[in-house]
Amino acid sequence: MKSLAAAQGEAGQVPGLIAAAEQALPQQVDALARARAFAEPLIAGETLDTGENTLAHADAVAAILKAMGGSEAMQAASYLVYACVHLNRPQEVIAKAFGASYAALAVETTQLVRIQAQTRAAEEAGQRVDDPRLQTENVRKMLLAFSRDLRVVMLRLASRLQTLRWHAAHKTLPPASVSREALEIFAPLANRLGIWQVKWEMEDLAFRFLEPDTYREVARLLDEKRAEREQSIEQMRDRLAQELRAQGIAAQVSGRPKHIYSIVKKMRGKSLGFDQVFDIRALRVIVPEVKDCYAALAWVHQQFNPVIEEFDDYIARPKPNGYQSLHTVVRDAAGRPVEIQIRTQAMHEHAEHGVAAHWAYKDAGTKGYAGVSATGTYDAKIAVLRQLLAWERDLSGAAQGLFDDRIYVLTPDAAIVDLPKDATPVDFAYSLHTSLGHRCRGARVDGAMVPLNTALHNGQTVEIVAAKEGGPSRDWLNPELGFLASPRARAKVRAWFNEQQRHETVARGREAVERLLQREGRTAFRLEDLASQLGFKSAEDLFAVVGKDEYSLRNIETLLKPPEAPLPQDAFLLKKPRPGERTPKGGVLVVGIDSLMTQLARCCKPAPPDAIAGFVTRGKGVSIHRQDCSNFRELSAKTPERVIEVEWGRPRNGEAAVYPVDVAVEAGDRQGLLRDISEVFAKEKMNVVGVQTQSVKGTAWMTFTVEVGDSQRLEKVLVLVREVAGVRWAKRR
């Protein structure tokens, strides 16, 4: 069995996959030395659960990554992962020293290690690792972790390989859960990603620990006739190379390494004895072009006796992961079976590097192998993630049905999104961001526009077409139309419509409250204070109940102007004005009664020649109202006996009488608006004695208190106010 480093010359490196994994990992000067110096004080004196020194383990992981083609940056990350658990705030500390990318990698890998440790602990407590539900959940979590950061894959593979090597070197037996996880999880992952040397070494080591007797027996059988087998293979290799060159085919012919676990799998899978396993003797032929593959195959079948049932044409029918090669088994002169693989250099690189070869070699063409696009790093990453999805299906084969409730699709940036089965592009949009879901208007699946209620499938790439602003459609909530499969997305759509309805209700309530305040001349009253005094937590809560007609505006009126205590029946407590007490400049006569104190009501502020009426108050004389005043109508309806007849009198001493009246104005808010309206009153010689203003979202409401001698003249002035730029309406209150 060859180690990863020893096999480097034969297998090459995996530059494509490593490059894709390291794109987000910035190169730093002396990153490897700094990372080791950073971690050494934290981990040098500790050991892992296996008994291996943590610093020595990190050193070995860095060496494996280097052998796989990893840069110093990737090697440096191996130390930070083991230092992470010793830091109170690892994300902050590592980000400050090395950058956010290193910190994210260390934390992600640490979280995945914790997940795997929990799974192994469950197995060691009695729950078997091949329990379909346990294994399925483990695979799902690993898949999502790997999809976020492919560098995690490299670090975990290297770490597990080192753990197995350490146990082999120290002749100790690792926990069965560690070996089984390597055999059933990590090795298939390496296989799917095409990191073959890691796969083969990990499989043989794990199998050696799990079934030591079987391992030793197969190793003994391989060793018994090793010299004889190698001599015959070398003779056949030389003959093949010379004869193919004579045919004009530039072929490289080499022996193929044997792996004990793969031999045992074939023996068990096909119920074969050791002598019946054909690929114990094996050769690999690498030629320049596809036509050379078939030419070499024809020559091999002419010179040797082929075993027809063992022939496979993976060039015409590639494997699902894109693998291509011709496989044939022939018998040599002594009748011994020999497996021969024939492929081009590009096919060989794909076989060695897996999906990484999709972007490492240009001669794969724009469609790559097995129809997988190979136009750049992005397409390569898509290919890697689709292999992760295939790996998930490989491992969940024994648990058929357990993954049927979930699908995995890809974003345009090649991140995996976990969705419920039958999810649509709308579900996908809401899973990325609530705002994107609200604004979703169309979708492309694998580059083609599709209806928004199209059911998505594993491995598809989804791109959302969104409006700049807007909201969802009510159709999305109709289950018969099939727009949403995710309860979470459905809840977000409902929440949006509920919020929209609340917004409309609040706006309606605000308008009603502000209109009331204008009518009462209390526009300066803070809305939050008003809500608090009425027992609401906020003004918006008040507006909401008013907008739903669940709260009477009369409650607000009562707060603004408390009702007067009623007079006892037939008891009118009237008083005459005291000497020197100021009375209105204009006279009001109470018909049939002399010397009664009168006052103009502040709610309607009457002025001649308004039709007026009097209302006897408790201790404050007669309050004079306009007959169309809403307050007066309510008071007279409750206590009609307190209404008395009044009329305008003549001013005393011949003075010109003036009366305060309120004028309400609504206008589009602008600079200079208050000045322009005030100038109208000034030109008409009307004295402004008070102004209240409020502006909300570009609309201004103003209340002017002006002194007039004749309310009819005021109507003429209001015509001029309405002509001011921006004024929408102006009227007397």
46-85 per-position pLDDT tens digit: 998 888 999 999 999 999 888 876 777 778 888 988 888 8
Looking at the domain assignment, is residue 410 inside a domain?
A: no
Joined together, the tokens standing for residue 429 give 């949009």
pLDDT at 426: 95
Looking at the domain assignment, is residue 396 inside a domain?
A: no
CA–CA separation, 594 and 659 (whole Å): 22
What's the structural domain count of the chain? 6
pLDDT band at residue 348 using 50, 70 and 90 as cut-offs: confident
Q: How far is CA 342 from CA 282, 291, 361, 416, in A?
A: 11, 11, 19, 36
One domain for residues 728 and 663: yes
- Are β-strands 699-708 and 406-410 bridged in parallel, bridged antiparallel, or unpaired? unpaired
Contact 691, 656 (CB under 8 A): no
One domain for residues 448 and 517: no
Q: What whole-number percentage of the chain has pLDDT above 90? A: 17
CA–CA separation, 444 and 498 (whole Å): 29
- Give, for 406, the enclosing helix (H) or strand (E): strand 406-410
Mean per-residue pLDDT over the chain, rounded: 77
One domain for residues 530 and 600: no
- Are β-strands 416-420 and 406-410 bridged in parallel, bridged antiparallel, or unpaired? antiparallel
Provide the domain limits for residue 303.
211-372
User: Higher confidence at residue 275 or residue 550?
Assistant: 550
pLDDT band at residue 541 using 50, 70 and 90 as cut-offs: confident
pLDDT digits (tens, 9 = 90+) for 622-677: 888 888 888 888 888 888 888 888 888 766 655 667 888 888 888 888 888 888 88
One domain for residues 429 and 518: no
On the question of pLDDT at 696 being above 50, the answer is yes
User: Higher confidence at residue 339 or residue 230?
Assistant: 339
- Are β-strands 646-648 and 622-626 bridged in parallel, bridged antiparallel, or unpaired? unpaired
- Picking from 372, 388, 407, the residue at the C-terminal end of a domain is 372
- Picking from 520, 544, 560, the residue at the C-terminal end of a domain is 560
pLDDT at 523: 77
pLDDT at 288: 92
pLDDT at 172: 93
CA–CA separation, 423 and 408 (whole Å): 10
One domain for residues 87 and 191: yes
Highest mean pLDDT range out of 324-333, 441-450, 625-634? 441-450
Q: Is 261 exposed, middle or buried (0-12, 13-18, 19+ CB in 10 A)?
A: buried
CA–CA separation, 146 and 17 (whole Å): 13
On the question of pLDDT at 272 being above 70, the answer is no
pLDDT at 133: 52
One domain for residues 694 and 547: no
Among 102-116, 188-202, 345-359, 476-490, name the one with the lowest average pLDDT.
345-359
CA–CA separation, 127 and 376 (whole Å): 44
Coil, strand or helix at 565: coil
Highest mean pLDDT range out of 267-271, 474-478, 729-733? 474-478
Looking at the domain assignment, is residue 473 inside a domain?
A: yes
In the DSSP assignment, the letter for residue 223 is H
Q: Kindly state the average pLDDT of the residues 104-128.
A: 68
User: Higher confidence at residue 269 or residue 46?
Assistant: 46
One domain for residues 80 and 13: yes
User: For residue 409, how many other CB atoms are within 10 A of its CB?
Assistant: 24
Looking at the domain assignment, is residue 700 inside a domain?
A: yes
As a residue count, the chain comes to 733
Amino acid at 494: R
pLDDT band at residue 594 using 50, 70 and 90 as cut-offs: low
Joined together, the tokens standing for residue 272 give 């074969």
pLDDT at 14: 45
Q: What whole-number percentage of the chain has pLDDT above 70? A: 73
CA–CA separation, 235 and 232 (whole Å): 5
pLDDT at 115: 64
One domain for residues 525 and 628: no
One domain for residues 26 and 152: yes
Count of CA atoms in the C-beta half-sphere (13 A) of 619: 3
Instruction: State the CATH number of the domain containing residue 148.
Output: 1.10.3210.10
Highest mean pLDDT range out of 272-281, 517-526, 633-642? 633-642
pLDDT at 296: 92
Amino acid at 539: A
pLDDT at 443: 94
Looking at the domain assignment, is residue 409 inside a domain?
A: no
Instruction: State the CATH number of the domain containing residue 302.
Output: 3.30.460.10
Q: How far is CA 96 from CA 99, 104, 266, in A?
A: 6, 12, 52
pLDDT at 327: 92
- Picking from 334, 349, 372, the residue at the C-terminal end of a domain is 372
Q: Which of 279, 274, 257 minimizes the C-alpha distance to 220?
A: 274
Q: Kindly state the average pLDDT of the residues 604-628.
A: 85
Among 216-220, 412-416, 474-478, name the one with the lowest average pLDDT.
412-416
Contact 424, 485 (CB under 8 A): yes
Looking at the domain assignment, is residue 60 inside a domain?
A: yes
Q: Please report which residue ranges of 170-211 form alpha helices under DSSP H.
A: 176-181, 187-193, 196-210
pLDDT at 184: 80
pLDDT at 385: 56
Instruction: State the CATH number of the domain containing residue 683.
Output: 3.30.70.260
Q: Please report which residue ranges of 402-451 form alpha helices under DSSP H.
A: 425-432, 434-439
Placement of tokens 């799917």 in the chain: 192
On the question of pLDDT at 578 being above 50, the answer is no
On the question of pLDDT at 381 being above 70, the answer is no
One domain for residues 112 and 50: yes
Looking at the domain assignment, is residue 413 inside a domain?
A: no
Kindly tell me the sign of the dihedral angle through the C-alpha atoms of 493, 495, 501, 503: negative
One domain for residues 634 and 725: no
Instruction: State the CATH number of the domain containing residue 433.
Output: 3.10.20.30
One domain for residues 650 and 663: no
Q: Kindly state the average pLDDT of the residues 100-114.
A: 79
On the question of pLDDT at 146 being above 70, the answer is no
Count of CA atoms in the C-beta half-sphere (13 A) of 563: 13
Looking at the domain assignment, is residue 380 inside a domain?
A: no
pLDDT at 379: 53
